[in-house]
Amino acid sequence: MTSVTSMTSAAVEHETLSTAQAINRALRDAMAEDPTVLVLGEDVGALGGVFRVTDGLTAQFGEDRCFDTPLAEAGIAGFAVGLAMNGMRPVIEMQFDAFAYPAFEQVVSHIAKMRNRTRGRVGLPLVIRVPYAGGIGGVEHHCDSSESYYAHTPGLHVVAPSNPSDAYSLLREAIASPDPVVFLEPKKLYWAKGDVALGNAREPGIGTAVVRRRGSDATLIAYGPSVPVALEAAEVAARDGRSLQVVDLRSIVPFDDATVCAAVESTGRAVVIAEAAGFASIASEIAARVSERCFHSLSAPVRRVTGFDIPYPPPKLEHIQLPSVDRILDAVDDLQWEDA
Amino acid sequence: MLLDPDGRPTAAGKAALPAGEELLRGLAGMVTARRFNEQASALVRQGRLAVYPSSYGQEACQVAAAQVLADGDWLFPTYRDTAAAVARGVDPVEVLGLLKGDWHSGYDPYERRVAPLTTPLATQLPHAVGVAHAARLRGESTVVLAICGDGGTSEGDFHEALNFAAVFRAPVVFFVQNNQYAISVPLARQSAAPSLAHKGVGYGIPGEQVDGNDLAALLDVLSRAVERARAGAGPQLVEGRTYRMQAHTNADDATRYRTDDEVAGWAAKDPLVRLETYLRAEGVLDDAHAAAFAEAAEQVARRTRDGINQDVEPNPDDLFGYVFAQPTPQLVEQRALVRDELSREEARS
């Protein structure tokens, strides 16, 4: 167990880890700290998960703490409800985004509603880990951006890290949360490495967006797998003399209106970027919120760069679906600069 | 069957009948359960409850499900099992919370270890398995009794729960109250299995069918299943064959899908009459007992009536207060908007 418990940066241990390793470390540290934390799902035991995210947990903590379940997602989610009702902090894995759909009723009708139903008497401290989104050449049912389904359901927190350090800290906080958290893991970032601040100092917390890059001309708003793309677009734009700011939401629910609005107001222009199909999506919600709240600071309508309203494409066509640097920069070019 | 419909012990009954005291307690519970069913239905007619799915005729199942459990055990009811929750000691007014309409669930599930009543079918079964497994991980001897109906056995969650329980050897007793109908759809349209108890075979767990209108047999079968689970032998499936004597709810018209003859046939198998006949014949029950049971039932009915007739003004703030442990900034904003609307409304009136 790590001895780092203080919030002072001097005491925080750092390590270079991939996102998958950072998530593994967060699970390991949480399990070491709290014996009620359980990890369960399909293939999370001996195999260590199809992405090796749970690698070594059964060996270290035993089969009572990290274990395989029957192949039944509704069962996994419903079983976790009972575990959480009775003193445990289950972290369940839905093997792939689209494999989580059988659990939908348990998630929407029970996990999200139990606290409200019982006037706060039964809280469900559980985490639903979902390897999600595309960009890995996956076959059908392995690449869905399913965040809107969860975010549209009152009672769920929904977070999506964009880097290994956030993956670690957001997951530690999700496990410690008294409420259910849907933890969306961008699959294409599993192998991306970065510096990770370890320990249970969780700043900034769930519900806080951060400005990843300062800029003065326009603000790009992204989360999860779209953040690195937005940062790359900002880098390219800088070479062309345009200063783009990048906001990383980190948390979809709760949504950080304050940081997003301050960022948009400081530039007067905004582009929202997300992989998910754009219609009735998180990107649309953000565009609406920004338009409602920042209308008088806007020099142009808010643009969205999202996936098309099509089922996720096969591997050889997925590059067309994913928001690209060029598509983002085209949207930025459309922000009525002639009026400036 | 331990007692036949006329209240005579069967051959099996002569060997296995529970003690007279247990049966007296069960009869008292059934008298209360029936009175509670009648009272709740009356409250619907009076417009005090939105709806009431009655367990009239199923009182033996309702009472047995509660009576076989120890204080530390858990009961997972369906929405029709309000009488079972009352038998377990939950306040009858709070039990009817969902149906009263001022909140979704009225009681603290931890107080008597009764999970909230909800309307989705079979979704409570995997919860029951999780509660049981958590208890087992901590080395506790808790047993969970989870109820579902014949219709509920068709749901995927029934299958997944039984399979999980079997694989993890969770101490759960799955009690199917087969009342022959899922609203209007008869058992034959739910399952082609020889019996619902047969379904246990597919999970590698014992399945036992029992006359659901025979309290003595129910106590016998369910308490053996509970003790078997407690001893670590894993889950069991019990099917109680009973009958929903009334319509699904007050909003249903049962004459559209079943005959009066069929209903009359089951009325002759009434669980209260059967047990009372036996206990009187044995000299275990006398008029003084019967009067005391009726009076206790009347007290529950009175408490139910008085509580439900009391108008409690729901607080609109509560709509935002329990979504999360801490409301999000958006919920705080929305609560403020509602407060503002209400205060302006009040100022106008």
Q: Is the pLDDT of residue A167 over 70?
A: yes
| CA A101 centroid distance within chain | 18
How near does any CA of chain A get to the CA of B148, in Å?
15
Planar angle of CA A150, A151, A156, nearest 5 degrees: 75
Taking Cα atoms as reference points, which of A187, A172, A90 lies closest to residue A131? Answer: A187
Q: Which long-range contacts (CB under 8 A, 24 or more apart) does A211-214 make?
A: A211/A245, A211/A246, A211/A247, A211/A248, A211/A259, A211/A263, A212/A162, A212/A246, A212/A247, A212/A248, A213/A244, A213/A245, A213/A246, A214/A245
CA–CA distances in Å: residue B82 to residues A307, B53, B105 = 48, 9, 12
pTM of the model: 0.96
Q: What number does CATH give the domain A9-197?
A: 3.40.50.970
Q: If contacts are CB pairs under 8 Å, which of residues 197-226 in chain A contact chain B?
A: 207
| Per-residue burial over B265-292, b = 16 or more CB atoms within 10 Å of its CB, e = otherwise | ebeebbbbebbbbbbeeeeebeeebbee
Which residues on chain B are in Cβ contact (under 8 Å) with A115? 322-325
> Which residue of B lies nearest to A181 if distances are taken between CA atoms?
B324
Which residues on chain B are in Cβ contact (under 8 Å) with A77? 126
* CB-count burial class (<10 Å; 0-12, 13-18, 19+) for B19: exposed
> Which residue of A lies nearest to B167 if distances are taken between CA atoms?
A70
Domain A9-197 and domain A210-339 have a common topology? yes
Which residues on chain B are in Cβ contact (under 8 Å) with A122? 109-110, 116
Helix axis angle, B59-67 relative to B271-281, nearest 10°? 70
Which residues on chain B are in Cβ contact (under 8 Å) with A40? none
> Which residue of A lies nearest to B104 if distances are taken between CA atoms?
A117
Write the pLDDT tens digit of every residue in B59-117. Answer: 999 999 999 999 999 999 999 999 999 999 999 999 998 898 889 998 999 999 999 99
**What SS3 class is residue A194?**
strand
Question: Per the residue annotation, which of A14, A142, A152, A157 is the catalytic one?
Answer: A142
Q: Mutation test of the interface with chain B: which of A40, A61, A79, choosing the one with the most B Cβ atoms within 10 A? A: A79
Distance CA B324, CA B327 (A): 6
**What SS3 class is residue B254?**
helix
Q: Is the pLDDT of residue B326 over 60?
A: yes
Neighbours of A336 (CB within 10 A): 12
Q: Is the pLDDT of residue B312 over 90?
A: no
Backbone angles phi, psi at B168, to 5 degrees: -95, 5
**Which amino acid type is present at position A56?**
G
Cβ B325–A157 below 8 Å, yes or no? no
A14 annotated active-site: no
**Is the predicted ipTM greater than 0.90, yes or no?**
yes
How near does any CA of chain B get to the CA of A263, in Å?
18
CATH class of B11-313: alpha beta
Q: Is the pLDDT of residue A2 over 80?
A: no
CB-based contacts of B193: which residues, under 8 Å, 6+ apart?
B199
Distance CA B228, CA B207 (A): 13
Write the pLDDT tens digit of every residue in A106-154. Answer: 999 999 999 999 999 999 999 999 999 999 999 999 999 999 999 999 9
Which residues on chain A are in Cβ contact (under 8 Å) with B118? 109-110, 117
Which residues on chain A are in Cβ contact (under 8 Å) with B328? 207, 253-255
Q: Is the pLDDT of residue A70 over 70?
A: yes
CB-based contacts of B98: which residues, under 8 Å, 6+ apart?
B79, B104, B105, B106, B116, B117, B118, B119
Put simply, whether A71 touches B (Cβ < 8 Å) is no
The arithmetic mean of pLDDT across residues B191-213, rounded, is 98
Distance CA A76, CA A68 (A): 10
Backbone conformation region of residue B101, classed left if phi is above 0, alpha if psi is from -120 to 50, else beta: left
Cβ A87–B322 below 8 Å, yes or no? no
Cβ B130–A82 below 8 Å, yes or no? yes
Cβ A82–B127 below 8 Å, yes or no? yes
> Domain-by-domain residue ranges, chain B?
11-313, 315-349
Cβ B328–A154 below 8 Å, yes or no? no
The arithmetic mean of pLDDT across residues A70-97, rounded, is 98
Write the pLDDT tens digit of every residue in B44-55. Answer: 999 999 999 999
Spell out where chain B has E strands.
74-76, 144-149, 172-178, 181-182, 185-186, 207-211, 236-241
> Which residue of B lies nearest to A111 if distances are taken between CA atoms?
B127
How near does any CA of chain B get to the CA of A239, in Å?
38
Q: Which two tokens stand for residue B44?
A: 């619907």
Q: Is the pLDDT of residue B274 over 70?
A: yes
One-letter-per-residue 3-state SS of B156-224:
HHHHHHHHHHHHCCCCEEEEEEECCEECCEEHHHCCCCCCCHHHHHHHCCCEEEEECCCHHHHHHHHHH
Q: What number does CATH give the domain A210-339?
A: 3.40.50.920
Q: Is the pLDDT of residue A1 over 50?
A: no
Distance CA A18, CA A195 (A): 9
Put simply, whether B72 touches A (Cβ < 8 Å) is no
Neighbours of B305 (CB within 10 A): 18
> Domain-by-domain residue ranges, chain A?
9-197, 210-339
Cβ A116–B161 below 8 Å, yes or no? no
CA–CA distances in Å: residue B347 to residues B295, B316, B334, B342, B344 = 49, 17, 20, 9, 5
Write the pLDDT tens digit of every residue in A216-256. Answer: 999 999 999 999 999 999 999 999 999 999 999 999 999 99
